[in-house]
Structure 1
Amino acid sequence: METVIVLFNRDLRTRDHPALAEACARARHVVPLFVMDPAIRARHRHGFLIEALSDLRSSLRDLGGDLVLRRGDPVAEAVRLAGDVGASAIWTSADVSAYARRRQERLSRACAERRLQFRLFPGVTIVPPDRLRPAGGDHYRVFTPYWRAWSKTVHRSVTGPPRVVTLPPGAEPGELPAGPRAPYGHLRGGETPGRRRLDLWLKLCLADYARGHDELAEDQTSMLSPYLRFGCVSPAEVAARAAGYPGAEEFVRQLCWRDFYYQVALAFPDLPRRDYRPREVDWNEDAHAADAWRAGMTGVPIVDAGMRQLQAEGWMHNRARMIVGSYLTKRLKIHWRVGGEHFAELLLDGDVPNNWGNWQWVAGTGNDTRPNRVLNPLRQAARFDPDGAYVRRYVPELASLPASLIHEPWKAAPRVPGYPAPLTTPDNG
């Protein structure tokens, strides 16, 4: 082949990128393309995306190529560029959200009209979301049977970066978009920092993951999910490398949960909009309570700590996500879409399958086999933040309280100035 365009979306890396690897192996010229799509609203993670694109451009330049950047409709821009550089094919990684699938369908039709080859490649998940199906169904609705099938599946081989990327004449790279950096702590976007984090975490932290990954103050989670969300690291490579270390099974199981929700989203594209498993719930439309929850001012310290961590870092510990989600949907009876949209706005790792799948799970409308499950925030706090270190870190007005009161400041006399009384009783259930 003479020239292939590789359209990047949520796969911003050079290593273990099946579409890029095959294009570089088969074509004389390859055009790595990313299109800034104005239809996708810039959220809190915009700065992380710009950093990831900058890092990808640097990596491609090291290989002799470049990242071609355009702004507009990805289908129109990819087809236009194909005409400009004389490409005969457009290849991209398959994704599962309703918007991504519509984009893929439009691109397929546009390529057919112009006699361009169009191909979809794996790479966004470990196991393709349409690979595993239960007997008599189009997808797995419960995680444990999916985990058993997933664990027995032979995963594809992980590939290295291409040896060289050669752009065709006339491929103008374009300017990297500017964007203010969001205040999300020490995480930096891109394949280079993502791989650095992966290397260190596997060597230093994985062995203790099963014991400590629920401890809120220690936060022994990998924090790789933003890099997986943007494809800065390959989920297949993460799983393959983790498997070589002691204590990997619990971590790999979490990667399987990610794949699980992708196959749910493929089968149920309305996951962000309507109940996966409809339930009769009389949802509360209390805007004041919803605002207090968003602001981390519910009066329940473990909930407020999680919400303030989200505001400050674009990140929240997974156990805290479950606690704040259960509090919103099961205690305040506020619709899961309110929580899901707030998370989608602020989370660096917020993607459609996992964000909305997890919100429906915690609300009892999704894939949880115990839909009436309610997490007691005080019991959760006592178990996973026993001395209150997590609360003290993110709710500083409570920092001077003793451990016996840190999770129940309403028992202090007098009340802590500036900190509210609980919106609802936190210790029942």
Structure 2
Amino acid sequence: MAVHERLPRGSNKTPKPIKTRCPPSFIHQKTITLLLPEHTKTYMTVEDPQNRLYKDAQQEAKVTAKTQAKATQHDGIRLALPASTRARPADMPHRALVTSICWFRTDLRIHDNPSLVASLLDQASTHLLPLYILDPRYIDLSRLPHSPFTAARTRHYRFPRCGIHRSRFLCQALDDLRARLQRHGSTLLVRYGKPEDVLPGIVNALLSNGTAVSNVHCAMDVAAEEITIEQSVAKRLAALGVPLIMHDCGTMVALADLPFPLRNLPDVYTAFRTRVEALPNMVRPCVAVPPRFKLLPDVPPPPPASAYPTTDLADTLLPLVSPLPIPDMDARSAHPFRGGETAALARLNAYLTTHAVATYKHTRNGLVGDTYSTKFSAFLSHGCLSPRTIYHALKKYEQQHAHTTDTYWVIFELLWRDYFRFVALKHGSKLFHPYSLRGCAKHAWSTDVESSTALALCGGVTGVPFIDASMRELVATGYTSNRSRQNVASFVTKDLCLDWRIGAELYESHLVDHDPSSNYGNWAYAAGIGNDPREDRKFNVIKQAFDYDPQGEYVRLWIPELCDLSTAVVHVPWKTPLPKEVYPHPIVIAPEWKRHADRGNHENDRQVVGKRRGM
């Protein structure tokens, strides 16, 4: 396949070929422009930052500076297959009705959505079909009528893969996206099944109904399993002559803007942050959504096993995909937010207009309430909120309130999120291996998920209040603070000596804000086998408890059986005559805890709390 320079539309000049040392699909981090066959009526750029399709490619293509400059307009787009398989067959008849499909994945929003915008601006299509597919590998579809699917489980330890809290948040987000699309004269088609089966089925149904399909647009993913699915979808669509066009939608800093090739991504966050923050324009502007949406195509009725006709996803679909009975929102929850773009934008606005952001650096390690941190994470993981939108809103806030520096620390955390996504993209499945990025470890971890130790952890009855409070909060609400997560991860891997993946998969099951790269990246980091330069870093959970919950408010909130203990001993109840039938003795006591166990006796507040607080 020839690679040519990009010419202005309508130019009579013959495009000059660009010399490359390897096929364009081998290109690593560079961006080139392909002149697709004339009947596609469009130019597109190609990126293959992980060499996903041709792993044996060793050399990068040479692209002239002039060509790179001309390729910037669409450099967030890449195609998932070689161009020879991407074009629609030349003998396909031109039809009056041609649709593009926007396959929503982890980009459940309209604002700053490159995939949606590209679908709307696609000159090859007259109509647009917004689509979401519930994949049985990630969400339990075994309860659907006549379902052929088994329950979705985590890979190694077989926890339910998507618990009630994330299931509810997802269904609410889909409901909200559908409603917002309807205000634009469109809607959201929801189908279930494996995308590599559902998408070709929809394309064939449209073709049989007299509608041509120009392309499928979607957000690119970064985790190994999701990338494999992308490749399967691309191959199945290519057989039908339909290209899969993938967009960089998930990070604050675009992959193409990194100041180094992905293979040279630093192994330490600080080195990454320093290089990225030095970029003259670190974050691109948000993409504007066209004011007019394309019409919906006439979609034939789906086969019984690939769709669930529902008008209210949150109320109708949720009982069928939830692995557990649906509880009401816990009144103690630090994350009392509905899923969806509407709630996401409202949260961003409230966080700025109430000036909660102005104290972020000092409150971000809080444990109780919904104001101590941004609570953007679940909206980001589902794509209800664009990280670029957050960034530009923070910069606007800085201009209006020049005295604040706390906005920087929100951006600092967004860069951490970007970093873990790039780590996942660089290392692929290695991130999820037993010893992750290190390949080995100094510790021997137990993989017995049925052991009394593992069961005590899952049930929040380890006898260590700070840990148990976090685990109970996680199960009850799907959320727990970053400070709590760090302590639990250290406790699991360094004190209990359990396989870090037990903790990571347990979090995957329960978290409302689960993101594979952030969750597994953070757990590997805490276990000393990820991107932490200090492999032996260990949290002293008793010191941490007195540092961040000095009055015992958090522990009493989630462990009511301890609410009558004094502040001096609420974090070390084994020092009291409290019967183990009321609260268990610790399953482990680390030697370093001793020097902090008496710390509560020296605090000012020694009063006995005689009633429940925060209930």
TM-score interval, smaller chain: over 0.9
* 3-state SS of 1:216 partner: coil
Of residues 116-125 and 380-389 in structure 1, the stretch that sits farther from structure 2 once superposed is 116-125
Are the structure 2 counterparts of residues 15 and 67 from structure 1 closer, same or farther at C-alpha, using a change threshold of 3 Å? same
1:29 aligns with 2:29: no
Task: From the superposition, tell whether residues 284 and 63 of structure 1 become closer, same or farther in structure 2 (CA, over 3 Å).
Answer: same
**8 Å contact from structure 1 (residues 13, 233) kept in 2:** yes
CA RMSD of aligned residues (A): 2.1
Residue in 1 that maps onto 2:610: none
Describe how 1:126-165 pairs up with structure 2 within 5 A.
126-129=252-255, 131-132=257-258, 134=260, 137-153=263-279, 154=281, 155-165=283-293
CA shift, 1:96, in A, is: 0.7
Question: Which residue of structure 1 lines up, in the alignment, with residue 112 of structure 2?
Answer: 16
1 or 2, which has the higher helix percentage? 1
Which residue pairs with 2:338 in the alignment? 188
Q: For 1:367, which of 527, 531, 535 is the aligned residue?
A: 531
Alpha-carbon spacing, 1:217–1:51, altered in 2? closer, same or farther (3 Å): closer
- Structure 2 distance, partners of 1:226, 1:233, is 9
1:179 Cα deviation from its structure 2 partner: 1.2
Q: 2:177 aligns with which of 48, 51, 56?
A: 56
Aligned ranges for residues 7-406 of structure 1 at < 5 Å?
7-26=103-122, 27-42=125-140, 43-44=162-163, 45-83=166-204, 84=206, 85-129=211-255, 131-132=257-258, 134=260, 137-153=263-279, 154=281, 155-171=283-299, 175-176=309-310, 178-180=317-319, 181=326, 185=330, 186-204=336-354, 205-217=356-368, 220-245=372-397, 246=404, 247-270=406-429, 271-274=431-434, 275-277=436-438, 278-285=440-447, 287-406=451-570
What secondary structure is seen at the aligned counterpart in 1 of 2:130?
strand
Residues 383/88 of structure 1: CA separation in 2 closer, same or farther (3 Å cut)? same
TM-superposition CA deviations, 1:316-355 (whole Å, max 9, x none)? 1100000111111101111101101100000011111011
Matched residue SS, 1:69: strand
Q: How far is 1:18 from its partner?
A: 0.7
Percent identity at matched positions? Answer: 31
SS in 1 for 2:396: coil
What is the identity, as a one-letter code, of the residue corresponding to 2:130? P
Structure 2: distance between partners of 1:297 and 1:207: 37
Measured in 2, the distance between the counterparts of 1:410 and 1:144 equals 40
Structure 1 residue 134 displacement after superposition: 4.7
Change (3 A) 1:78 1:99: same
User: SS in structure 1 opposite 2:484?
Assistant: helix
The amino acid of 1:303's aligned partner reads I
Provide TM-score, normalisation by structure 1.
0.94
SS at match of 1:7: strand
Deviates more, 1:379-388 or 1:157-166: 157-166
Single out whichever of 6-15 and 272-281 deviates more from structure 2. 272-281
Distance 1:87 1:149 in 2: 42
Q: CA deviation at 1:218?
A: 5.2
- C-alpha distance in 2, partners of 1:25/1:354? 32
Q: Give the Cα separation in 2 of the matches to 1:128 and 1:158.
A: 11
- Cα distance in structure 2, aligned partners of 1:147 and 1:182: 41
Give, as a single letter, the amino acid of the residue that structure 1 aligns with 2:103: L
Q: Which amino acid aligns with 2:485?
A: R
Unaligned runs of 5+ in 1: none
Counterpart secondary structure, 2:568:
coil
Count of aligned pairs: 429
Task: Specify the code of the residue in structure 2 equivalent to 1:387.
Answer: Q
Compare 4-13 and 209-218 and name the one that shifted more. 209-218
Tell whether the 8 Å contact from 2:504 to 2:519 is kept in structure 1 after alignment. yes
Q: Secondary structure at the match of 1:269?
A: helix
Preserved contact between residue 20 and residue 162 of structure 1 (Cα < 8 Å): no
Contact 1:21 1:162 in 2 (8 A): yes
Q: TM-score, normalised by structure 2?
A: 0.67
Match of 2:167, as an amino acid? H
